[in-house]
Chain A
Amino acid sequence: MFKLLHASFEGTKAAFASIRAHALRSALTTLGIIIGVAAVITVVAIMQGLSHSITSQLDDLGSDMVTLRAYTPTNQQMLGQFNRLHHDDFLTLKSRVSQVEDMTATMQAFSMGSQVHYGRNSAQTQIIGTDSSYQNVVRVYPELGRFLSSSDDDRRRRVAFIGSSLIQKLDLPDNPVGEFINLSGDWFRIIGVAESRGSLFGFDQDNYIIAPFSTIRALNGERAARNIDILFRPAAGANPEQVQQQMRSILRQRHKLAPDDPDPFEFISAERMIDQFNSITRSITLVAGGVVSISLLVGGIGVMNIMLVSVTERTREIGIVKALGATPQFILLQFLVEALVLSLFGGIIGLALGAGIASFIGLMLPAMPEALVPLWAILLSIGFTTMIGVVFGLAPAIKASRLNPIDALRYE
């Protein structure tokens, strides 16, 4: 035991001396591992940063908001049939479901396209028709002016509540309240501007126009007027599952579905989106991790290759130290430590490099959130490179320890 400790200590010293003596070759040997680990850490850091930022942004949106919308299975879509939710569905739910804090209906302004004009300027945007409850459900607050009121909806007023980025896109005055914008021929008066929400996944979240539901429905006409989305927030203390279940049975009854028909609608909650998103990032991380493991394997083979060459090149040296009394175990340990240190070194450099690249990417792309290197990734890459060092260092180390001293001394 004491002997082994002594041999480990001296072997480590010898290994470091040899690495220092061949600094360039050592660096090249470990390059494969550096690149491999750097790639893993970059991918993981970016994915983790993305996942962290999206989770927190979705949390901000309100994790308890639920969207109820029509759902059409793909095979039915191919036949050109689309399920829809109607305004009557919304009215029924609103009158019959009590465990809800607030509920609103939204409708896309299909017939109007998505062009908005102001003076000579025009912009692409998203036009949504909804009622005053939208503000409570989605938690959108006016920075300037006011949100829609119920009388706007009752009287089909042509008023618009706009997202903040439209001010710049349309070159509106700093306070655009009272200005008129044109939506495919119809004039709308701006009554308010929303607080900025920033961007999510790199998409601008402040490019939209909200107009009264009844106005949009009237302008849409009969053609595409039917489909709506219903947004709601379960009441505090209510069980969201139960609320959804209640809505489900009311809707199934209204749509006269047979017991084994699938739901023609679906509930989407922020929580579910977070789950889905996390499962996507998890699989991307896994796939990237798998690809990169292969590159680490190649890096390990690189270490083994160079170590084998190094053993051959140092045959005479090995012969000398064997003549001087180095035991086979000592030589084995020295070469094993050398491989281990090389690959561990590569792992640590790769770790730093990967973290650096990831935060550089985070800095360069404004839409990109800050990179995060989780502890498990650090431990995993260190552990993995250690394993590579041992596994791929073993063959050269055994070769070195088994050299016959007489032949090794004669080796030119």
Chain B
Amino acid sequence: MARNVIRLHQVNKSYLMADEMFYALRNIDLCIAENDYVAIIGPSGSGKSTLMNVLGCLDTPTSGQYQLGEHDVATLNETELAELRNEAVGFIFQSFNLLPRATVLANVMQPLVYRLMPNKTRQAMALEALQRVGLADKTGHLPNQLSGGQRQRVAIARALVTRPRILLGDEPTGNLDSKTTKDIMALFDQLHQEGHTIILVTHEQDIAEHCQRVIRLVDGQVAEDIRNNQGAQLHV
């Protein structure tokens, strides 16, 4: 059994909305092992996004413990959270979230700006990541000169460049057509085979079918957590 990279224990997240407490996550217990390939599914309002934000260290739980690698995330301050995101998390967003005025190469180098290293090293690492996603010939392009699929590949390269502990995809194919979706999912499958830990938040069934493990959230609780061997049919 592989080591757990993520461990959530009794995690709650609540917000005060219009004088009323809204419980987005309730007593979540969850472990994700290294090189796991996980889909988090559920209807909208089920707490998927909140869970994603907590896992990505963009947000801290109201109560409970979250262990990412050797870090106890719940105790970290803003600065330490930022440093941990840079070190351990690779984000891939639905709307790509590339910096519009920066070239492809600069976009991929961006996370390395927050690390102390020579610019040459940054460039070399970014080029390597771009080669990995098959876009080494587009380094000088601006994001708006690329297709949606290419943009998402740039975003994946940007997530890979820091060699993070986990790759977090938030509806990574939500803005893509079906052919491009297939390409991107094939890329995720490959990355998984190469040893990356991948967590995808999605509401699309065929995306979830790529994953080894599907966690279904309902009303902020884990309703279902199943191993999904050989693409079994799922009820989303």
- A interface residues (Cβ-Cβ under 8 A, vs B): 2-3, 6, 10, 14, 17, 21, 316-317, 319-330, 405-406, 409
Contact (Cβ within 8 A) A326 B82: yes
Tell me whether A330 and B114 are in contact in the complex, defined as CB-CB below 8 angstroms, given that A320-B97, A324-B86, A409-B97 are known contacts: yes
- B interface residues (Cβ-Cβ under 8 A, vs A): 53, 56, 58-59, 78-79, 82-83, 85-87, 91, 93, 97-102, 110-111, 113-114, 116, 158, 162
Contact (Cβ within 8 A) B86 A325: yes
Q: How far is the CA of A10 from the CA of B111 in the complex (A)?
A: 12
Tell me whether A406 and B83 are in contact in the complex, defined as CB-CB below 8 angstroms, given that A21-B101, A317-B99, A325-B111 are known contacts: no
Contact (Cβ within 8 A) A406 B82: no
- Among A6, A324, A329, A405, chain B packs the most CB atoms within 10 A around the CB of A324
Q: Which residue of the partner chain, among B86, B99, B114, contacts A320 with CB atoms under 8 Å? A: B99
Contact (Cβ within 8 A) A406 B53: yes
Q: Report chain B residues within 8 Å CB of A406.
A: 53, 58-59
Q: How far is the CA of A327 from the CA of B80 in the complex (A)?
A: 8
Known contacts A2-B116, A324-B91, then 7 further A-B pairs from the complex at CB < 8 Å, ordered by chain A residue: A317-B99, A317-B100, A320-B99, A323-B58, A324-B111, A326-B113, A409-B93
Q: Which residue of the partner chain, among B97, B98, B100, B116, contacts A323 with CB atoms under 8 Å? A: B97
Q: How far is the CA of A262 from the CA of B82 in the complex (A)?
A: 80
Contact (Cβ within 8 A) B78 A324: no
Nearest A residue to B79 via CB reads A327
How many cross-chain pairs have Cβ atoms below 8 Å apart between A and B? 61
Q: Which residue of the partner chain, among B87, B98, B100, B113, contacts A10 with CB atoms under 8 Å? A: B113
Nearest B residue to A409 via CB reads B97
Q: Report chain A residues within 8 Å CB of B110.
A: 321, 324
Contact (Cβ within 8 A) B78 A328: yes
- Tell me if A's interface is mostly helix, strand, loop or mixed: helix
Shortest Cβ distance from residue A126 to the other chain B in the assembled complex, whole angstroms: 71
Q: Report chain A residues within 8 Å CB of B101.
A: 17, 21
Q: Report chain A residues within 8 Å CB of B116.
A: 2-3, 6
Q: Report chain B residues within 8 Å CB of A6.
A: 116
Shortest Cβ distance from residue B46 to the other chain A in the assembled complex, whole angstroms: 17
19 pairs, CB–CB < 8 Å, chain A vs chain B: A2-B116, A10-B113, A14-B113, A17-B101, A316-B97, A322-B82, A323-B58, A323-B91, A323-B97, A324-B91, A325-B85, A326-B82, A327-B78, A327-B79, A327-B82, A328-B78, A328-B79, A329-B79, A406-B59
Q: How far is the CA of A320 from the CA of B83 in the complex (A)?
A: 14
The 9 closest A-B pairs by CB, nearest first: A325-B86, A327-B82, A324-B111, A325-B114, A327-B79, A21-B101, A320-B97, A325-B85, A6-B116
- Among A316, A323, A406, chain B packs the most CB atoms within 10 A around the CB of A323
Q: How far is the CA of A143 from the CA of B86 in the complex (A)?
A: 86
Shortest Cβ distance from residue B27 to the other chain A in the assembled complex, whole angstroms: 22
Q: Which residue of the partner chain, among B56, B114, B162, contacts A327 with CB atoms under 8 Å? A: B114
Nearest B residue to A6 via CB reads B116
Tell me whether A325 and B99 are in contact in the complex, defined as CB-CB below 8 angstroms, given that A6-B116, A405-B58, A406-B53 are known contacts: no
Shortest Cβ distance from residue A23 to the other chain B in the assembled complex, whole angstroms: 12
Contact (Cβ within 8 A) A323 B85: yes
Contact (Cβ within 8 A) A325 B87: yes
Q: Report chain B residues within 8 Å CB of A321.
A: 99, 110
Nearest B residue to A319 via CB reads B97
Nearest A residue to B90 via CB reads A324
Q: How far is the CA of A325 from the CA of B162 in the complex (A)?
A: 10
Shortest Cβ distance from residue B137 to the other chain A in the assembled complex, whole angstroms: 24
Nearest A residue to B101 via CB reads A21
Nearest B residue to A331 via CB reads B82
Q: Report chain A residues within 8 Å CB of B158.
A: 324
- Among A2, A325, A406, chain B packs the most CB atoms within 10 A around the CB of A325
Contact (Cβ within 8 A) B59 A324: no
Shortest Cβ distance from residue B87 to the other chain A in the assembled complex, whole angstroms: 7
Q: Report chain B residues within 8 Å CB of A3.
A: 116
Q: How far is the CA of A322 from the CA of B111 in the complex (A)?
A: 9
Q: How far is the CA of A21 from the CA of B79 in the complex (A)?
A: 28
Q: How far is the CA of A14 from the CA of B113 in the complex (A)?
A: 10
- Among A328, A329, A405, chain B packs the most CB atoms within 10 A around the CB of A405
Shortest Cβ distance from residue A337 to the other chain B in the assembled complex, whole angstroms: 14
